A and B are shown apart, each in its own frame.
Chain A
Amino acid sequence: MTLFSLQTLALNPLTAFGLILALGVLGGQMAKRIAHLPSVTGYILTGLIIGPSGLGLIQHDLLSEASLFSDLALGLALFELGRRVDLSWLNRERTLLLTSLITSALLFAGLFGLLIAFQLHYAPAALLAAVGMSSSAPILLEITRESHAEGQVTERLLATAGLNGLFSLVAFGLALSYSHFVSASGVESVFLRPSWLVLGSAALGLIAGLIAIRLNAWLSGRQREAQWVLLFAMIALVVGLAEQLAMMPAMALLVFGLATRNLRSGDTLTDPTLLARSSFFFVAFFVATGAQLVPSELMRLWPLAVAFVLLRMALAMAPWALAARSNGLTVKRGALLGLALTPMGSGTQTLMLLVPSTLLASQSSMLMPATLAVLCILELIGPLVSRFALKHAGETHE
């Protein structure tokens, strides 16, 4: 602990939140005004500088004190991303569904192969490849919001990010099942636990969606403020319940959003200002994300991390470029859409906590370090790459 560590002040969660928020806003503004970087990059850099790997002003226990707020931010973002998955559109526009499916499959296969080549065992390779299929909901939403991105690339980007998120979590559940199998766990761990994680979480999201639609209709559109508070409350509830029931909150939230978008009368449950109103949660989330980055792992495993990042970008761009015209885009805009998927799924570290400890110990001590090394690059370059892609696709507001 440094001499100036704020731990000595024994900050409570609110003080920690305030501190993270204030420093984050300053960092975000500096990044934006001085370096013309996205604010998100500024928040993450602030976290990295003040976090345990930087100046050490904020340590892990302080981060966990403020995790309530960043968990909520992640929940809000995943809910919103779930709302971008419009099943009636996918039914009409099968090309979009197919392109997303192919992109996910390619990402999994390619990353899995790469990790095997880097001497990871099958189980951890499958787990990390599954996570590599998804894109970060908070980063994509914040970048599109900040740059006022609108248009076909943005719409398809967010829809495909929602779908890839779902595919990724299912793949992760299967990989987890396999991990339990290879670590010689019992039937319960091999089948029941992953099923509970995937199907149980999806069921929780679906039930939450049904309840939210009912309550929302009862409040009616004349009570917009009450509807907004209710929606926020439901999101907080789903995050909390999923954690309490040892489920995957990400899956529950994505399905919750998807249900409200697609079930009858769910279209009334909408608030375009949801993310803007919650911006303080997002600042806290990004600062906390930055604080959790571990550059030392990147230094150690940089060849793997760089190869992972480059391959992932190429694998996302290729199918979108090839299927661009069928998606109503030019080849260039298709490729840029694939590039915009670069930020990797937030909450990856939380997911990795679900991995059986026996596996971590025995088969791959490299899983967490590799994950952290990859995240270190993607969290920092992801927002920049996405903004670049959307700008050159002509979707941002000049």
Chain B
Amino acid sequence: MSGPTERNETMLEFTTSQPLTLGVELELMILNRRDYNLTRGSDDLLELINRRQHGYDIKPEITQGMIEIGTAVHSKTSEMLDELTAIRTLLVNAAEKLNLGLAGGGSHPFQHWRDQRIYPKERYRLVSELYGYLAKQFTVYGQHIHIGCPNGDAAVRLTHYLSRYIPHFIALSASSPFHQGVDTLFQTSRLTSVNAFPLSGSMPLVHSWDEFNDYFAKMAHLGIVESMKDFYWDIRPKPEYGTVEIRICDTPLSVDTPVLLAAYAQMLARRCFEEGWNDIRQEHYLTYSYNRFQACRFGYDAVLVDALEARQTSLLEDMLETLNALLPHAQALGAEREHAQLRERVLKRNIDSQWLRGIHESSGSLPEVVRRQSERWMYGEIGRD
């Protein structure tokens, strides 16, 4: 057990932030335009982009076939879309000069993990040393959504609250049906790579920021973690930003879908805060992994199990019910348009993984699948999906 002094040394300070503000991070694929395999291009892209001041958050990721972009803090999702579109323009101009492709999607359909190169940065080197091949297999691409929280207690509550809706986010973003050249039958295969990490899964059942700090202090004292970055949870508090971070989503194929996912998270968070939700209990987590698997495997056709009410329901119905309940929150946030788009997406069962499968079915070629997904991210019309 750690004493009070040790606990203070490892205490995490939760930075206060404006509630319900948003930010997203997107991990993108860097491709060659010959066979659309992943290529080592993050350094070349960054070198070119950084020749001029641009003020955007664009940085390397664990392997060199990845690049990460992040938005500033926004309260309106329309502003977030404007920023993402501007970042896309900047990236596409540089990528065209270097003859590189950029694409969304949760994983590359046919890359071989052993070919990937760890980005030469101390943290990634340490991760690679610790996790061996898992680090290279972590060449998967996700969207992270940050939601501003007033304090640590609110962040803990919101983290538990959102865990109930993880299957929704999975279905809305699923875009990794292929893995190492094979159709997995899953809508998202990316999460299987994440599951392999020992500190993946969900946050333990803590009820307040103080309890969270106790847990963190224990883990740090035991030498298992050094910072929050060492937790690969689906949702985690991010004390330095003052946010809760949803990490479950695949990077969507279009540049505007991330904004819809962020809007959905914002509506849910508002509902959580407005209703003063505090129903934290173990029963909610009894079916967490099962529901998560169902959404990964079947997308909208998943069957969710509610342990408290001991009933099964279809994911599609659950999402529509949730969206109905969220309408007043969407109106309060000025996000009616995003709400309508989400509803339409669900009703049409619009899922990126099926779009990818469709191309594979007609062409029989995985490089062709990647070529089309690259075109969609780089040149896709906003609001078309």
Contacts and interface: CB of A to CB of B under 8 A. Distances in A.
Contact of A150 (B40, B99, B364): B40
Contact of B48 (A267, A268, A328): A328
A150 B43 CA distance: 11
A146 interface: no
Interface string B343-385: 0000000000000000000011111100100000000000000
Contacts of A86: 33-34, 99
Contacts of A328: 44, 47-48, 94, 97-98
A93 interface: yes
Nearest to A149: B40
Sort chain B's interface into a size bin.
20 to 34
Nearest to A394: B43
A268 B368 contact: yes
A185 interface: no
B106 to A, nearest CB: 22
Nearest to A153: B44
A388 interface: no
B291 interface: no
B43 A151 contact: yes
B367 A267 contact: yes
B36 to A, nearest CB: 8
Interface in A77-114: 83-84, 86, 89, 92-93
Please report whether the interface of chain A is mostly helix, strand, loop or mixed according to DSSP.
loop
A394 to B, nearest CB: 7
A151 B32 CA distance: 9
Interface string A152-174: 10010000000000000000000
B32 A155 contact: yes
A220 B364 contact: yes
B96 interface: yes
A395 B33 CA distance: 18
A222 interface: yes
B33 A89 contact: yes
Interface in A328-344: 328, 330
A272 B43 contact: no
B14 to A, nearest CB: 40
30 contacts: A84-B34, A86-B33, A86-B34, A86-B99, A89-B99, A93-B96, A93-B97, A93-B99, A150-B39, A151-B39, A152-B41, A152-B44, A152-B98, A155-B98, A155-B99, A220-B363, A220-B364, A221-B368, A223-B364, A261-B34, A268-B363, A270-B34, A270-B367, A271-B35, A272-B35, A328-B44, A328-B94, A328-B97, A330-B47, A395-B40
